Structure 1
C-alpha cells in the first residue's frame, strides 16, 4: 500500500508539473511571452550587457530587445501576432545569455483579447481582430504614483466607468494638487543634496534603472488591460520643475530611458505611446530632439503600437508618418459646431482631443467645466468623427483630484458619456459629418442608413425631417426617428415613418414634408435609422 501511494503521489506531481510546463508553452495571440535568464551581476548590467531574441514562425522573423530586470535576471518579451509554432534564439554580448533557444505555440485569443488597437478607415480605430474601437478616454496623470489603497480605489472606479483609455505619465508629477513623493522611483538613488531654498533634493544614477518602479507600472497597465482599458503612456512631461530632474536628464539618458521603457512595455497589447504631454512646455528639450525621440520609440517597438505627441500652446508636426494619430490640447475645438472637423481635415489622421479642459471646480480656467459643458464637448467631437478625452478636477475626499491622483469620480458627465458611448457602439459604423461644408449638426455612417443629429444648446419646438443631399439616402428610403435627451439620458422612439423624397437643392425632405414636435430643452439629439 505505501508503494501504491508513492506511485500515485508521483503521478499526481508529474501530471501537475507537466501541465504547468505545457501551459507555459501555449500563449494566446497578442498575449505576452517572456524569456527569463540568469546572467552577470557584476559591473553595470544596464550599460554593459546587450540582449535580444529573434522569434520566427517560418514565415516571419521578429527581433525583440531584452532588458536587465535586476538581481542577475535578464528578460526578453514578445507579443505573437500570428497563431502557430514559434521558435526563438537569443543573442547577447554575454556568452551566458547568447544562443539560448526554445519554442512555444501561439493559440487563438479568448475572452476580451481583441489585440492591440490600430488605425482604421483613415480617421478611426479597430482592434487587431477587426472589432471597432471608439476611444472614450480619461486623464489620470499620476495615478500610479499614489499609495496602494488609492490606486485600488482608482481601479475600482474605472471598473464601472465608461472609459476605455487612460492617459498616464511614466514619471511622477510635481504640480498643483499632486505634490506627494511616489512610492517608487525610476532610477537608483545615489545621494541627496539640497536646493537653494534648503529643500532636500534626491540625486540619481541615470545609468541604473530601478526595476521595482517599472514592475509596478507594468502591474498597473495589466490591471487596466483586465478592465478593457488602453494605457496611453506619456513618456515625458514638464511637471518636474527640478523636483527630481527627470525632465532634464540630457539627450543620451533620455534615449537610454526610451530604449529600456520600450523593451519592457512594447509587448503589452494595451499600450499606446504618447511622446510627451505638452511637449512645448518642456524647455529642457529642443524641438528638434522630438523627432529623434519619436524615431527611437517607433524603431524600438516591433509591433508598431499607436503613437502620438501632445501639445501645450503649439502643435507639433503631426503629419509625420511616425505619428499614427493626433493628440490635441485645445478646448475651443469642441465648444461649438464646425470646429472639431477642421484639424482632422488638416492632418488626415484620427483626431483625439485629449485635453479640452476638465469638469471640476478648480479656479484655473482649464479646471472648471460644468458637467453639461464636458458632456457637450463629447457630443461635439463625436458628430464630427473625432474623439474627446475626459478629466475631472473636483476636490474629493482626502484632497484627492481624480485628474491628478485618481480615486473616485463625483462629476455628472461620466454617466452621460457612458450613454453616448453606448449610442456610438450601437451604430453600424463610425460617424462622419454628412456635409462638412454646410451642415455641422448631422453625422452619418458610410452606408447612409443611419444619422445622428445634435442640436447642442439650441432649443426649438419643431423639426422638419430633412437630411443633407451630400451622402444622403436614396429617394423612397424609409426612416424612423428617435428623440435623444443627452442630459437626462432618455431615448423616445416616434411612431411616424418618414420617407425620403427627391432632393431639393442641397437637402432631402420627407416626401410629405412631415415634421415632429420637440420638447423645449437644450442638448437634444435625433437618431434616424432606415427601416425596411
Structure 2
C-alpha cells in the first residue's frame, strides 16, 4: 500500500505552490492526499485523521474525507494568526504520517459566525467583531443546478445591494421533496440512499455556491438542516453518524455556515419526523463532531421550543408568534428564548404568507422593532402564499415588494446605528413598552403606541431622546431626566434612548425638545436664560421650564388655572400668557384667570377681565393686564396688580380716553377691541389694539403707570383690518408692531408716527402673528401654522416653518429671545384649530437661531 502526497494548497479556489503555504485567518486551508489503495467502501473502511497544532501550542483534531477514487482531503478554518503544524494519518494503520505546516495571516473575513463575544444575546463573529443579522428567506431553487446561474447572480446582486447579509435557504442542506416545495429542483443530493453513503460530487456542487456566498460575505442558515423534512437522508443511527461526520469534515471550514439538526418543524404533529429524544440524540452526535464550533440549533415548530436548554444547542431558532399584537409577539419570543444564546426569529415576520397575518406597513415596522427589542435576529420573507411562493419562492426581482424590504431595512439601520451588541432585553424594568438595558442600565425603550413610561432606576440621571419609529431621523430631546413619567410625543410608535449624563453626551440643539401634550403654548425667558413654557391641556393650564445650560427640563406642573373649552371665553380668545418678573416669580394668565407662583404654591387672583386680553410685568413686579372694555368710559382698559397685592385695580384712566384727545379717540361701535401690551426696561407701557382711532389699529403709550396716555395710529384708517396686531419693544425701547397679515411697522420717536418696515410672514384670518424682540438688531415674527421669520442684520429672513415631526398640522408658534438665541415652542397634532380647543396636541421646543 502506498500513497502520494500532492503538495498543493487550495485557498478559496486559488492553487499556489507549497512553499507559499499561507492562508488567511478564518479562510480555508485544504490538503489533498492521493492513495492508490482500492476500498470497497472508502467511507467506512478507513478514516483520515488530522491533528493540528495551533500557534499557541493547543491541539485541534478533525476528520478528513474521501473525495473521489484515490483522493482524500482535509480542511481547516484557521482561527489564529501564526504558524500551524499538522500531522495526518489513516486509521487503518498503513502508511506513514504526513507532517506539514502553513502560516495563517490576516484576512478580510470577519470571523466564524457565532454568538457575539461581547454579549451572547446577539450573533457576532469569533474574534470579537459584531454582526447585526439581516436575513432573508430564499426558496427551494436557490442551490438547484436547473436554476440558471445568471438568475442566481441577479438575485444575489439585489441581496447585497439591499444590505442583506444572511440567507435562510429552503431545501438546504437537503431537498424538501414535496409538491410546490423542493420537488423538481435539482438541489445537491448529499446522501446516496441506494449505496447508503455520501455523494461527494453533490457536496462539491453545494460548495461551489457556498464559496460564492462566502466571497459576498453572506451567512447561510440551512432551513432543512442535516435531516430535512421529506428529504433523502439516512434513517439508521450508523449511517446518520457517517453522514454527520462526512458533512462536517467538508463544511467545518466555512466561516459563514450555521448548523441546524433538522427542519422545518421535526416535531410537528402532522409530520412526526422525529421525537424529541431523537432530535436530542442527533444534536449530541453533531455537537460531538463539531470540532470547529459552528452554531447549532433545530428548527422549532410554531410557538414551541422544547430545546431551549439542550446542552448541544448554541443558538435558538423560533417560529412564531405570528401576530399583530406586539405584546403577544414580544412575550412569546422572550418566553421561548435563551438569554445566554442568540436567537433567529425564523418564521415570525413573513410578509404575504398565508399562515401569518396580513401585515400593513405600520404593523410590519412595529413587529420588526419588537423582534429586535427581544434581542432576536429577524429573518424576513416576501411571500404570496406558502413559504415557497412569491419573491421568496421565485427569487425573481420583478416579484419583490421593495417597499416592504425598505421598512425592515430601516429598522435594521437604526439598530446598527447604536451599540446594540451591548444591549440585553429585560422584562421588568419599565411600566410600558419593551426594554433593552446596557450593562444593567436603561438604554432603549420601544413604545408601539406611545404613552407614558418610567424606567425603574434610582438616583440616576439620563440624557433622554425620543426617536420616531416611522422615521428614525426625527429625534426629539427630553433633556436631563431621571427616567420617570416620560410622555411620548404622540400615540404613534416611539423609541426612547437614554444615556447616563456622565457619558460624553453632546447636547444637540438641532433636535427639538418634547414638552408635553396640550394646546396654545406660550414661552418667555428670564434674566438667566431659563425658558418658561405654559400650555393648556383639556381645561388645565400646565407649566414647565427648561434650562439650556444644563439641558434640564423641569417637571410638568399644574398651575391651578383652568379655562373653558369655549369659542368665546376659552383659551383661543384669551390665550395663555407667561411672564417672569425681575425677582424670578412666574406669572400666568389664561381665559379669565391669573395666577403666580410664590416659590411654594400657585396663587390665584381674580384679574377682573373677560376675553381678548394680554399681560406683561414691569421692572418693579407690577402686573398689567390689557382687556376689552375700559373702567373709566373707554373701549379698552388696563388692570394692575402691585407687587404683593391681593387684587387688580384699573389704571386711573383708560388708554383710549386718557389721551389728550380724550373721548374723540373712542371708537364708535367698537365692541370688539383686542389689545396687546409690552412694558420696556424703563417701565413705559406700550399698547396696540384694534377697532381704535385715529386708525383701525392704533398705539397707546404711558410713562407714568397709566395715569396719562399718548397715542397715534399705526395703520388701517377706517377700514376693517381683521384680527389684532401684536407689539414688541427692544431693549433700547424701539417699538415694532406686526399686523394680522404679517407686515411690520416701527415707531419714529421723533415724529411719533409709525412707518412700514416690510413684510415678515404671510398670515391671514386668525393666524395671529406675534413678535418677540431682543436687541435692536434681533426679533422674530411667528404665527399659526408654524410660520416664522427672523429679523437680523437689518433685514428679515425668508419665511420659514417650524419642522413637522409627526406629519400632522402645525398650530401656534411662539418665540422667546435669550441673548442672541431664539427659541420657538409650537404645537402639532390632529386637533389643531384656530377657533376652538378640540384636543391635545404635541408641543415641541426648538432653538431657531
Q: State the TM bucket, normalised to the shorter chain.
A: 0.7 to 0.9
CA–CA separation in structure 2 for the residues paired with 1:500 and 1:175: 58
1:492 alignment partner, one of 474, 478, 483: 474
CA contact (8 A) 2:323 2:357 kept: no
Distance 1:235 1:439 in 2: 40
- How far apart are the structure 1 equivalents of 2:324 and 2:68? 47
Superposition deviation, residue 393 in structure 1: 1.1
Give the Cα separation in 2 of the matches to 1:387 and 1:440. 23
Could you tell me which residue of structure 2 aligns to residue 46 of structure 1? 43
Instruction: List runs of 5+ in structure 1 lacking aligned partners.
Output: 1-18, 190-203, 502-506
Counterpart of 1:508 in structure 2 is 484
Going from structure 1 to structure 2, the CA distance change for 1:101 and 1:297 (only over 3 Å counts) comes to same
User: Does residue 177 in structure 1 map to residue 196 in structure 2?
Assistant: no
Q: How far did 1:38 drift?
A: 1.2
Question: What per-residue deviation string (whole Å, max 9, x for no partner) do you get for residues 89-123 of structure 1?
Answer: 11213567651121101112x32433432354342
Q: Whose helix fraction is larger, Structure 1's or Structure 2's? A: 1
Alignment partners' CA distance in 1, 2:338 and 2:472: 36
Aligned to 1:315: 305
* Closer, same or farther: CA 24–273 of 1 in aligned 2, 3 Å: farther
Larger radius of gyration: 2
- Rounded to whole Å, the distance in 2 between the matches of 1:380 and 1:53 is 46
Q: Determine helix, strand or coil for the equivalent of 1:366.
A: coil
> Secondary structure of the residue that 1:316 maps to in structure 2?
coil
User: Hey, what's the Cα distance between the residues in 1 that align with 2:484 and 2:132?
Assistant: 29
Kept in 1, the 8 Å contact 2:139–2:393? The answer is yes
Question: Structure 1's 367 and 222: CA in aligned 2 closer, same or farther, altered over 3 A?
Answer: farther
Cα separation, 1, equivalents of 2:100 and 2:185: 39
- Are 1:468 and 2:444 counterparts? no
1:452 aligns with 444
Structure 2 alignment gaps of length 5 or more: 1-14, 507-849
TM-score by length of 1: 0.78
Q: Within 2, Cα distance between the matches of 1:284 and 1:508?
A: 51
Q: 1:388 aligns with which of 354, 358, 378?
A: 378
By how many angstroms is 1:451 displaced?
3.7
Write the distance in 1 (CA, Å) between the matches of 2:356 and 2:305. Answer: 18
| Matches of 2:61 and 2:295, distance apart in 1 | 19
Corresponding residue for residue 108 of structure 2: 111
Aligned with 2:16 (options 12, 15, 20):
20
Instruction: Report the aligned-residue RMSD.
Output: 3.2
Normalised TM-score (structure 2): 0.51
1:434 CA displacement: 5.6
Q: Distance in 2 between matches of 1:97 and 1:401?
A: 55
Q: Alignment partner for residue 236 of structure 2, among 240, 246, 250?
A: 250
Could you tell me which residue of structure 1 aligns to residue 124 of structure 2? Answer: 126
- The equivalent residue for 1:426 is 417
Alignment of 1:45-444 (within 5 A): 45-57=42-54, 59-93=57-91, 98-108=96-106, 110-120=107-117, 121-142=119-140, 143-145=142-144, 147-149=147-149, 150-168=151-169, 169-186=172-189, 204-233=193-222, 234-236=224-226, 239-240=229-230, 246-247=232-233, 249-277=235-263, 278-281=265-268, 283-313=272-302, 314-332=304-322, 335-337=325-327, 338-340=330-332, 342-343=334-335, 348-360=340-352, 364-366=354-356, 369-394=359-384, 401-404=390-393, 406-408=395-397, 410-411=400-401, 412-430=403-421, 431-433=423-425, 436=428, 438-444=430-436
Contact 1:162 1:421 (8 Å CA) reproduced: no
Larger proportion of strand: 2
**Whole-angstrom CA distance in 2 between matches of 1:188 and 1:299:** 20
Q: Distance in 2 between matches of 1:98 and 1:186?
A: 34
Distance 2:47 2:78 in 1: 22
Higher relative contact order, structure no. (Cα contacts within 8 Å, ≥ 6 residues apart): 1
User: Contact 1:178 / 1:405 at 8 angstroms: preserved in 2?
Assistant: no
Contact 1:184/1:212, CA 8 A, preserved across alignment: no
Matched length:
469
